[in-house]
Amino acid sequence: MDVIHVPVMLEEVLAALELKSSGIYIDATLGLGGHAEGILQCAQGCTLIGIDRDENAIEIARERLKGFEKVHLIKNRFSNMKDVVNSLGYEKVNGIILDAGVSTLHLKAEGRGFSFMRDEPLDMRMDQSSDLTAEKVVNSYKEKDLADIIYQYGEERYSRRIAKSIVFARRKNRITSCKELATIIEKAVGRRGRIHPATRSFQALRIKVNSELDELSKAVDSGAELLEEKGRFCVLSYHSLEDRIVKNAFRKLAKEGLFRIITKKPIVPEREEQKLNPSSRSAKLRVAEKI
Ligand SMILES: C[S@@+](CC[C@H](N)C(=O)[O-])C[C@H]1O[C@@H](n2cnc3c(N)ncnc32)[C@H](O)[C@@H]1O
């Protein structure tokens, strides 16, 4: 299947990285290789280390980037980026881009279980070799734990009602498909406005299954250690929970005298980009520089 993921705020990211052809750069969320390709084209001759926990994404990116030299693509979690870089024989890098969240591959490819629009198994694992699936969470977690996950990671005000309906429904039959879960949620809270009522719960489950927030805070610390003086750290986040983690982590590192914050306020996509690529609409770019 042909999936295209349009890299978000590509020009802004390339400018913020202050690329040079002798530099070593990490794309901590390689995805389908959009930002990585931009870096390699812009800083010809540079070294690129691309990391993704999704084997399929790495394969697609490998094909896309095969014309470039000095490219290392590694399947791993970005919280391990320091180990990845060290295992390749590098100590320091000149820039890092981390583009959090899911890619088009997750949402559009069949059978990944991220979308409430599709009738497919409730999976949501970015790394398909990991153990925890959304189906496991939905069918085995206690009602209170489900409610907490949906509240904390989905910022869903009807979390208790939704958790109760899930537990009620699973007593009859195991909940196995995305559509089934979306219907249970819709019945529990009704439809209001344009946004599907399952949106926040699906976000919450995805965050839980992939430990996304924990990964993100560890990645900022790991990346901070790796950066060379004047090296730039660019993070694209897509919802308030992610953005808060990045903002606070950058501030803490700035207080400790390790970082200079470049973006006092996050950069958001131009209106034109938001129109052309609706999935960029919620993006926020924060940039910090190692001192
Ligand atoms: C928004 S996409 C990146 C898209 C990419 N910038 C591009 O232009 O094609 C995010 C990617 O990060 C990966 N990812 C998310 N969390 C990760 C983690 N903790 N460790 C490694 N990769 C992760 C996902 O598998 C996904 O492929």
Residue 4 confidence (pLDDT): 73
Determine if ligand 1 sits within 6 Å of the CB of residue 65: no
Mutate to test the pocket of ligand 1, among 30, 210, 214, 237 (most ligand atoms within 8 A of CB): 30
3-state helix, strand, coil in the chain (%, to 5): 45, 15, 35
Instruction: Give the model confidence (pLDDT) of 22-77 as tens digits.
Output: 999 999 999 999 999 999 999 999 999 999 999 999 999 999 999 999 999 999 99
Mutate to test the pocket of ligand 1, among 9, 14, 53, 203 (most ligand atoms within 8 A of CB): 53
Rounded CA-CA distance 212/102 in Å is 10
Secondary structure of residue 190 in the 3-state scheme: coil
Instruction: Give the model confidence (pLDDT) of 107-162 as tens digits.
Output: 877 789 988 888 899 999 999 999 999 999 999 999 999 999 999 999 999 999 99
Strands 259-261 and 284-290: antiparallel
Token pair 């390339």 is at which residue?
Answer: 14
Going from the Cα of 230 to the center of ligand 1, the distance in angstroms, rounded, reads: 25
The candidate with the shortest Cα–Cα distance to 98, out of 243, 206, 265, 219, is 219
Share of the chain above pLDDT 70, in %: 99
Among 81-85, 152-156, 159-163, 188-192, name the one with the lowest average pLDDT: 188-192
Among 96-100, 244-248, 277-281, name the one with the lowest average pLDDT: 277-281
Determine if ligand 1 sits within 6 Å of the CB of residue 5: yes
Going from the Cα of 105 to the center of ligand 1, the distance in angstroms, rounded, reads: 10
Task: Tell me the domain boundaries of the chain.
Answer: 10-105+212-290, 128-209
Topology annotation, domain 128-209: DNA polymerase; domain 1 (1.10.150)
Determine if ligand 1 sits within 6 Å of the CB of residue 189: no
Rounded CA-CA distance 125/106 in Å is 9
Rounded CA-CA distance 223/85 in Å is 10
Class of domain 10-105+212-290: alpha beta
Rounded CA-CA distance 221/96 in Å is 12
Mutate to test the pocket of ligand 1, among 3, 52, 63 (most ligand atoms within 8 A of CB): 52
Q: Where are the beta strands (DSSP E) in 76-208?
A: 93-99
Element spanning 290, H or E? strand 284-290
Q: How confident is the model at residue 3 (pLDDT cuts 50, 70, 90)?
A: low
Q: Are 53 and 76 in contact (CB under 8 A)?
A: yes
Say whether 128-209 and 10-105+212-290 share the same fold. no
Residue 2 confidence (pLDDT): 60
Whole-model pTM: value is 0.95
Strands 93-99 and 284-290: unpaired
Residue 5 confidence (pLDDT): 76
In Å, how far are 19, 217, 229, 288 from 84, measured between CA atoms?
21, 17, 20, 22
